[in-house]
Structure 1
Amino acid sequence: MQQIRPDLWITAPYFPEPEGFPDLKFHGYFLTRPEGNLLIHTSEHAADHDIIAQLGGVSRQYLAHGHEAEPGIARIRQRFGSTLLAHRAASADVAVHAELDHPLDGGEVFDDGVTVIATPGHTASNVAFKVRSKTGETYLFVGDTIFPRRGEWHGAVFPDEGGDTATLQDSLARLADHHADLILFGVTISDEPARQFTASSWRAALDEASRSLQPI
C-alpha cells in the first residue's frame, strides 16, 4: 500500500482483466478513523491485508458498485469482521462472495463521516462516497463513474447491468456540485488514481467524460 495522506492509503492495484485490458487497474483506499477504519472499494492482495491489520483492521468496507465484488471481500470480512456496504442493486454481485450487511440507496450520512451519493448510469448500482478527513480535507471517492485514461476523462455504460447513457450524464453533472480537496478513482487506465482539482477543472473533467460515453 502507498500512503498519500496522514490518514489515507492506496492499496496495491488489482488487474481484473489482464488479457483483454492489461492496463486496466482497480484501486482501493484505506482510511484510519477513530470511530473505526474504513476500506473504500476493494483490496485483493494479502500483503495489503497484513498492513491493514497492523493499522488496526477494517470496521466497514464500502463498495462503489457491483464490479468491485471480488473474492477479496470475503477474505477481508473473515479476517477483520468488517461490515460490508454497497448499493442494494449490487446485492447479487456481492452474494457470489459474501453477505451484504447494509444495502445503500444513496443519500445516507453515516456517523463514521461517510456521505453516500447516488451516481447510477455506469451500472444501476453505482454510488460515490464523500468523506471529511480528520486532517480537515474532504475526499471524494467516485468509483467508476468517471475515470482517467491516458490523460483523458472517460465514462462507460453497461446496459446489461442497468447502465444508461442519459442517467450517467445526469450523475456526472450532479458530481460537479461535489468538489473535494482530493478526488479518488476506483479504476484507471494507464493513469493516476488520485487527483486534486479546482472547481472549474473538475467540472471540465466531468464534461469531457460525459462526451465520451458509449455503451459497452
Structure 2
Amino acid sequence: MRELFPDLWQTTSEHPMTAFPHSTSNAYLLLREAGNVLFYCTGREAIGEKHGEADLDRIADLGGIAEVLLGHWHEATPSLKRIKERFGARIVIHARDAAPVEKESGVAPDVTFWDRHVLPAGVEAIPTPGHTVGSACYLYRSPHGRTYLFTGDTIWPARGSWTSATFEDDGKHSAHRASLDLLATLKPHVVLSTISPDNTQAEVLPDEWEAATAAAKARLG
C-alpha cells in the first residue's frame, strides 16, 4: 500500500481481469476519526496471497475499516466477506446492485441507497447508472483541501485520455451518457477509479475534467 495524501491510501495493484491481464485494479482507504472507509474491494485477485494479507494487515494498523463503499457489483468477490468478518465493516451499495453483490461475495450489503445524498460517513453517494444499473460514484471533500471523486468503472483514465464502458446497453447508452453529464458538473481535484490500463488515480483541473467526461462519452459510440 502507499499513501497518496494525508487521509488517503491506495492498495497494492492487482490484475483480476483474466481477459485484460495488463489492467490494474486498486482500492482506496480513506482515513477518518469516525471510522475508515474502503472504496471498492481489495484482495480480489487471489485470496490468501502474500500481498493481499499484507494490505489487510496494514489497513488494521491504520485503524481498520468501518464501511466498504462499492461502486458496482463487479467489485464483489469472496474477499468482501473476508474483509467484513475481519473488520466488522458495513457494506454499502446502490439498491439495484445489492442482489448480485450477495450472490458473488456471499455476504448481503448492510446499507443500500437509491438517491443522491450524503452518507453518515460524510461521503456523497451519487447514483450513476450505465456501467451497471446500480453503478454509483462517491464524492468526498477532504479537510486537507482536495475533493476526491471515486468513479468505480463509470469512467477511468486510459493512456492519456479517459474511457468508459456500459453493460446495461439500450443501444444508445442513454443512462451512461446522462451519468457522465452529471459527473461533468462536479469539480474534483483527484479522480480514483476501480480499474485502468495504467494508473487508477489522476489529479485533474476543472477544464480537464470536463474534457475527460466528454472523451469517455465519445468512447461509448
Instruction: Name the SS of the counterpart of 1:56 in structure 2.
Output: coil
Does residue 147 of the first structure (1) align with residue 146 of the second (2)?
Answer: no
2:23 maps to amino acid: L
Match of 1:158 in 2: 167
CA shift at 1:83, angstroms? 0.5
- Alignment match of 2:91 (pick from 84, 89, 92): 84
Alignment correspondent of 1:126: 135
Q: Report matched runs for 1:34-113 at 5 Å.
A: 34-44=33-43, 45-96=52-103, 97=105, 98-113=107-122
Distance (Å, rounded) in 1 between the aligned partners of 2:133 and 2:2: 31
Number of equivalences: 211
Structure 1 position 194 matched with structure 2 position 201: yes
What does the per-residue CA deviation read over 1:2-55, in whole Å, with 9 as the maximum and x for residues that have no partner?
11001100111222223x211122221001101100101111122111100011
Structure 1 gap segments, 5+ residues each: none
Task: Give the conservation status (yes or no) of the 8 Å contact 1:86–1:103.
Answer: yes
Q: Is the 8 A contact 1:121 1:163 kept in 2?
A: no
Give 4+ residue runs of structure 1 displaced > 4 Å after superposition: none
Q: 2-side partners of 1:106 and 1:164: how far apart? A: 23
Task: Report how far residue 138 of structure 1 moved.
Answer: 1.3
- Give 1:170's aligned residue: 178
- SS of structure 2 residue aligned to 1:175: helix
SS at match of 2:152: coil
Structure 2 equivalent of residue 8 of structure 1:
8
Shift of 1:194: 1.4
Match of 2:25 in 1: 26
Q: Deviations over 1:135-178 (max 9, x none)?
A: 13211101111112222211101137x89611111110110111
Is the Cα contact below 8 Å between 1:153 and 1:208 reproduced in 2?
A: yes
Tell whether 2:185 aligns with 1:180.
no
Structure 1 residues 76-104: Cα deviation after superposition (integer angstroms, max 9, x where no partner): 10000010000111112211221110012
State the alpha-carbon separation in 1 of the partners of residues 172 and 133 from structure 2: 8
User: For residues 105 and 25 of structure 1, what CA distance do their matches in structure 2 show?
Assistant: 29
TM-score by length of 2: 0.90
Question: What TM-score do you get using the length of structure 1 for normalisation?
Answer: 0.92
Task: Give percent identity, aligned residues only.
Answer: 36
Any unmatched runs of 5+ in structure 2? 44-51
Q: How many Å separate the matches in 2 of 1:202 and 1:132?
A: 17
Deviation of 1:129 (Å): 0.3
Measured against aligned partners, the alpha-carbon deviations of 1:153-212 in whole angstroms (never above 9, x if no partner) come to 11101137x8961111111011011111211111101x2221111111100010010000
